[in-house]
Structure 1
Amino acid sequence: MSNSRKIRVIGGGLAGPEAALTAASLGCEVELYEMRREVDGKPVLTPAHQTTDFGELVCSNSLKSESPNTAPWLLKQEMRRAGSRLIALADETAVPAGHALAVDRVEFSRRIAEAIAAEPRITVIRDEVKTLDFGDDALTIVASGPLTSDALSTEIAKLTGAEHLAFYDSISPIVDAETIDMDRVYFAARWDKGTADYINCPMTREEYEVFLNALVTAEAAESKEWEKADYFEGCLPIEILAKRGPDTLRFGPMKPVGLRDPRTGKTPWAVVQLRKENLRADSYNLVGFQNHLKYGEQAKVLRLIPGLEDAKFLRYGQIHRNTYICSPRVLDERLRMKERSDLFFAGQISGVEGYTESIASGLLAGLYAATVAHGEEPVPAPRQTALGSLVNYITQADPKHFQPANITFDLLVPLEEETRRKVRDKKERHRMVCDRALAAFDDWWATQNRNPNKDSFDWRNSVRAGV
């Protein structure tokens, strides 16, 4: 094991630490680079980050659904079976969030830092990486995230031979729990599914119309270098959604369906949901309320929400750039650069979208790089699995229309036509897809490195044993 090639991981967000911890657990020496650091006692940050912590969650604190037989649940189940360190830490730092896996973001970051510090094979280097030509035989995993520095972005663009793409993402506001008027809100989970962990701010039709008018007329923050922001469709600012039609928000983040007010027995015209930020429940984020308004405008508009009239906002929404490569042109199914076999990509820069998806790509990149580091060729995750389907999308999509994606059933291999005709119930079909995926995952995992050579490196057992 000591003769394996060193692995260099660039990025301390979600994919990077997952890749580093995975590769280190497989006996590899790892250097983990993070450009956020302290210089002369002052933090050097990105436009979106507020700390230098590993795994800082800059948007919501949710890793999506834990409802069985949903696509996000399936992806996390596969990752749990693969021994994902960050998913395990997310489970340990979970806060009540109905049927979703949400974490105490501060505790989550702290646990990641502890795990990295406890791993003797990981060396942390707080510095900006500006080149990918290191002049050694180490393998490199680029997990620099959506806010990759200009210098490294330029370097990656030169290597890929393709123009970088970019979309713009937004951050939701966070409110001080003590400033919420609890007489005007109620606790409930949609359709009473899971525990009633969400605070719901109900709106009448009149209140909604006043809010909507204020939202669409509010002044946006200055765009500076981006005149025409190319937003990611899965995370649009609420003011953009509102301008698409008067009912767009009511069918989106303010959808009241399944959220009956227990005090009146009626379903409100619209609802704003608040989700716990931490176990202390002293702060809540406004679910789906990412925006790009001036802070003063946000204060005026958001205080029109029932229960938030006197709210203190701990953080306002903001916009930041998300940068990613055109993976279908650049990467193979092992997340390895087609033109440079020592270079892997993971996280949002590789074209996945979302916390869980970023961790998943980091897990795979760590596994694949470690396997190569030990002189073997990695076997990609099967297409039938959520892991394999996610990678299949980012490496096989139409490069002309490539856009980052979350894990959905649309990415998974559909059931055979005959089965779809026989099984009409959508939930049952999803269950069948999940069962097939987990079976395929187990078969893949159980057969890794069945090399008759007694010196062959068994990374499967090493990960599960936490070697």
Structure 2
Amino acid sequence: MKKIKIIGGGLAGPEAALQAAALGCHVDLYEMRPHRSTEAHQTSDFAELVCSNSLKSESENTAPWLLKQEMRQAGSFLLQDADATAVPAGHALAVDRELFSQRVADRIAAQPLITVHREEVTHLDEHDTDTITILASGPLTSPALAAELQRLTGADHLAFYDSISPIVDATTIDMDKVYFAARYDKGTADYINCPFTKEEYETFLDALTTAENVESKDWEKFPVDGTANKLQYFEGCLPIEETARRGRDTLRFGPMKPVGLTDPKTGRWPYACVQLRQENLRADSYNLVGFQNHLKYSEQKRVLRLIPGLENASFLRYGQIHRNTYIHAPSLLTETLQLKAHPTIMIAGQLSGVEGYTESIASGMLAGRYAAALAKGSAPIPAPRLSANGSLTHYITHAEIKKFVPANITFDLLPPLEEELRKKMRDKKERHKLQCDRALHAWKEWLAPALVTAF
């Protein structure tokens, strides 16, 4: 049996290691922290959640729900730990960051087939045919390892900029000015809502759009079109100040959307609203949902205290921007996440072009299974196209080359229903339910042979 080497202790790496070990393979798991950290990580923990603590919607028959249902059926270890450390978050799966990381670490330590190496990997040996390597070093891959990957692929990396939302001390929130509510009263009222009047919103917007940004560091910059260095934000995770500059009402249709959040004091929706989501099981801290930004800390303190209820807030963490790197998967990867030119080397997680915590874990789950098959001398079978996992992988490996950008799981990635069914089902929820049923059926059929021997 071939050896399996996994580089990266974030989300995809540990999931891949645990999957491969569960299938009887010996795994060497490498993580460079704490000997070398990154610009965004704060700890050396496995599975540290750098940005928010949410793994997205748990609403039935949504795309994120479908992806997680498939992962649960496949025995995703990190999703089990996420479920076990969940905190109230309405229709979303959010976790206690510290407890989640600790459970992952404990699980890895308890697995005798996994050996952990706390050291930086700077070389990829494409000629070592006795080793299957999974590169899951994430969007903040070290410069030396990124240079190695660039050497192997012969292609330039793409990059975008991801963000971190601020976290506020719950004891410093003025609870007389805020209220608990779920949008349209669906589910439990787990979010704290900070309501704005029109005047308060305009004042906040003026302060936000004129606040001073952090000066970009050299490590953040990269050449665009071979000429100038510039920031390239990911559209799915824009800094709030960038969103605000696109129009006076843009925030009210984005992270400050008030619809469905009835204020019990007025009986009406506010003009705008900031939502706060619980960070941990102790409920002593909350993050500002969608409020990632690139402002100086002193400016954040000034501007964010203009949010009703946060006038005297103490911030446990301010928002940040960090560079995320990913490969051009359509040119480089097969549907089993192997490099086309070097099939013993695999790419998983955000480095492969999937975007999001859940998507990264899912990618690691597949990579671990594929690597185990390769280590045992078998040809891995790609996840079915009809499934959410298969559709996400299909997108990153078949996207239009010139328009490839990282992707979250959405119904747009899944194969559409037949035209006759689409005409019969005008209700979008019905169509999505049918797509989910179809996906789960295909997924179960794909899993069946592996489940006999693995779990």
Is TM-score (shorter-chain normalized) higher than 0.5? yes
Secondary structure of 1:366's match? helix
Match of residue 441 from structure 1? 443
Note the C-alpha offset of 1:461.
3.2
Match of residue 461 from structure 1? 452
**Separation in 2 of the partners of 1:29 and 1:193?**
46
Secondary structure of 2:344's match? strand
**Which of 347, 350, 353 lines up with 2:352 in the alignment?**
350
Q: Counterpart amino acid of 1:422?
A: K
**Separation in 2 of the partners of 1:221 and 1:411?**
36
**Which of 301, 312, 315 lines up with 1:313 in the alignment?**
315
Match of residue 7 from structure 2? 10
**Separation in 1 of the partners of 2:143 and 2:108?**
27
**Separation in 1 of the partners of 2:432 and 2:268?**
31
Match of residue 41 from structure 1? none
Note the C-alpha offset of 1:463.
3.7
Note the C-alpha offset of 1:134.
7.3
Note the C-alpha offset of 1:152.
0.5
Match of residue 102 from structure 2? 110
Note the C-alpha offset of 1:147.
0.1
The reply to whether residue 133 of structure 1 matches residue 128 of structure 2 is no
Secondary structure of 1:219's match? coil
The reply to whether residue 370 of structure 1 matches residue 363 of structure 2 is no
- Alpha-carbon displacement from aligned partner over 1:5-62 (angstroms, at most 9, x marks no partner): 1100000000000000000110000000001125xxxxx3210000000000010000
**Which of 86, 104, 129 lines up with 1:94 in the alignment?**
86
The reply to whether residue 29 of structure 1 matches residue 21 of structure 2 is no
- Alpha-carbon displacement from aligned partner over 1:366-411 (angstroms, at most 9, x marks no partner): 0001011111111111100000000000000012111000000000
Alignment of 1:12-91 (within 5 A): 12-38=9-35, 44-91=36-83
**Which of 327, 330, 333 lines up with 1:328 in the alignment?**
330
Secondary structure of 1:211's match? helix
Q: Counterpart amino acid of 2:161?
A: Y
Match of residue 214 from structure 1? 207
**Which of 335, 339, 342 lines up with 2:341 in the alignment?**
339
**Separation in 2 of the partners of 1:224 and 1:26?**
43
Relative to structure 1, the CA distance from residue 313 to residue 185 in structure 2 (aligned partners, 3 Å threshold; closer, same or farther) is same
Secondary structure of 1:341's match? coil
Match of residue 149 from structure 1? 142
Secondary structure of 2:94's match? strand
- Alpha-carbon displacement from aligned partner over 1:243-297 (angstroms, at most 9, x marks no partner): 0000000000000001011222110000000000000000000000000000000
Match of residue 430 from structure 2? 428
**Separation in 2 of the partners of 1:263 and 1:275?**
21
Match of residue 279 from structure 2? 277
- Answer whether contact 2:11 2:357 (CA < 8 A) is retained: yes
**Separation in 2 of the partners of 1:326 and 1:461?**
35
Q: Which moved more, 1:311-320 or 1:129-138?
A: 129-138
Relative to structure 1, the CA distance from residue 216 to residue 418 in structure 2 (aligned partners, 3 Å threshold; closer, same or farther) is same
**Separation in 1 of the partners of 2:430 and 2:181?**
26
Alignment of 1:254-293 (within 5 A): 254-293=256-295
Q: Counterpart amino acid of 1:147?
A: L
**Separation in 2 of the partners of 1:426 and 1:193?**
19
Q: Percent identity?
A: 71
**Separation in 1 of the partners of 2:134 and 2:58?**
29
- Alpha-carbon displacement from aligned partner over 1:77-97 (angstroms, at most 9, x marks no partner): 000000000000000000000
- Answer whether contact 2:126 2:345 (CA < 8 A) is retained: no
Secondary structure of 1:340's match? coil
Structure 1 stretches of 4+ with a deviation exceeding 6 A read none
Note the C-alpha offset of 1:171.
0.4
- Answer whether contact 2:8 2:29 (CA < 8 A) is retained: yes
Match of residue 174 from structure 1? 167
Secondary structure of 1:184's match? coil
Q: Counterpart amino acid of 2:78?
A: L
- Alpha-carbon displacement from aligned partner over 1:91-149 (angstroms, at most 9, x marks no partner): 00000000000000000000000000000000000111101017641100000000000
Relative to structure 1, the CA distance from residue 422 to residue 165 in structure 2 (aligned partners, 3 Å threshold; closer, same or farther) is same
Q: Counterpart amino acid of 1:183?
A: D
Structure 1's unaligned 5+ residue stretches are: 39-43, 449-458
With the length of structure 1 as denominator, give the TM-score of the two structures.
0.94
Secondary structure of 1:430's match? helix
Q: CA RMSD in A?
A: 0.9
**Separation in 2 of the partners of 1:224 and 1:27?**
44
Secondary structure of 1:37's match? coil
Note the C-alpha offset of 1:460.
2.6
**Separation in 2 of the partners of 1:64 and 1:369?**
27
- Answer whether contact 2:126 2:344 (CA < 8 A) is retained: no
Secondary structure of 2:38's match? coil
- Answer whether contact 1:82 1:463 (CA < 8 A) is retained: no
- Answer whether contact 2:6 2:28 (CA < 8 A) is retained: yes
